[in-house]
Amino acid sequence: MDVPIAWYLILSAALFSIGVFAFLIKRNIITIFMSIELMLNAVNLAFVAFAHHWHQVSGQIFVFFVMVVAAAEAAVGLAIIISVYRSRETLNVDQINLMKL
């Protein structure tokens, strides 16, 4: 049985929407960061599905670069979270309202 490419794309749209919603309603800064990763993964799925449709390798190369940037971003973001927690003693985003550490 074949699966329509559109189903993969709809799945990726659903994952992206859930990621946006979690980004909006979550109050814990770590969970907010995780929902950003979920959105990146949803976009990666769309890239791979389109690469399969057009028979192009470049779509998968894009996913490779997204993964590299996501890894760098996770390292820096979690370091920022640790230093914010050190100075504020909280992870709730409502109580983090200054850029100053």
Partner 1 sequence: MHLALFVIFGLFCLGGALNLLLQRHPINSALSLIVVMSSLAVLYLLLGAEFLALAQIIVYSGAIMVLFVFVIMLLNAGEEEKTHGSRAAYLAGIPGVLALFCVLASTYVTLRTSFGQARLGNFIVTTEELSRVLFRNLLLPFEVTSILILVAILGAVVLARKEQ
> Judged by CB, which is closer to partner 1: 57, or 98?
57
DSSP letter string over 24-80? HH--BHHHHHHHHHHHHHHHHHHHHHHHHHHT-SHHHHHHHHHHHHHHHHHHHHHHH
71/99 with CB nearer partner 1: 71
Nearest approach, Cβ of residue 55 and partner 1 (Å): 5
Nearer to partner 1 (CB atom), residue 24 or residue 99: 24
* Shortest CB 96 distance to partner 1, Å: 11
As a whole number of angstroms, the distance between CA 51 and CA 63 comes to 10
For residue 33, the minimal CB distance to partner 1 (Å) is 8
